[in-house]
Copies of this chain bind each other. A is one copy, B any other.
Amino acid sequence: MNKKVLIEISARHIHLSQKDLEKLFGKGYRLKKMKMLSQPGEFAAKETLNIQAGSRKILGVRILGPARKETQVELSRTDAIYLKLNPPVRISGDLKKTPGIILISPKKKIKIKRGVIIAQRHIHCQTKEAEKLGLKNGTVVSVRVKGERAITFHNVKIRTNKNFRLYMQVDTDEGNAAGIRIKGKGEII
């Protein structure tokens, strides 16, 4: 059985709710597509935001589309430490008791009350492909990465959906720790 998986580094980014998108860019605003991403329908937008916590800012954080149910800011722990925030490690969408942050567009500044997370590393997998690999939604696996900075990531959550494509996603800290440049390869063990 082939259990190889491509690994993508997911840099800091923002998902906006339609409501927050319109607050920041104006009524009826639609994000401009810059690049399609590995998961069908998902794209990196041309638009970026500056984010601010206390006196610290990070400029030019990419917005990903399409709009989500709730605004969510995904940072690396390195980013979080710089911003003096302490967000939990969470699966996307699980935003209970997460810190808020200030979002700044060229037109407007808004404060979200919650939504900052460090993404839990996970593997997107098409439902039937997962079955073939002996995996299902919620299964936790380890993934071994070879090379100079060889690492095994444990606690990697499988997320299945009929539209998903097989990709593991890690943040920049994890990618850098494993010596991965942009894309890497791993093996589910």
Contact = CB atoms under 8 A, between A and B. Distances in A.
Interface of A: 76-78, 81, 89, 121, 142, 148-155, 170-174, 176-179
B172 A89 contact: no
A73 B171 CA distance: 24
A152 B149 contact: no
Q: Name which of A78, A177, A179 has the most chain B CB atoms within 10 A of its CB.
A: A177
How many subunits of this chain does the assembly comprise? Answer: 2
A68 B78 CA distance: 28
A172 B76 CA distance: 11
6 contacts: A76-B176, A150-B154, A152-B154, A173-B173, A177-B177, A177-B178
Contact of A151 (B76, B89, B154, B172): B154
A148 B152 CA distance: 14
Given A78-B173, A81-B172, A89-B149, 8 more contacts: A76-B176, A77-B176, A78-B172, A81-B176, A148-B155, A151-B152, A152-B152, A171-B177
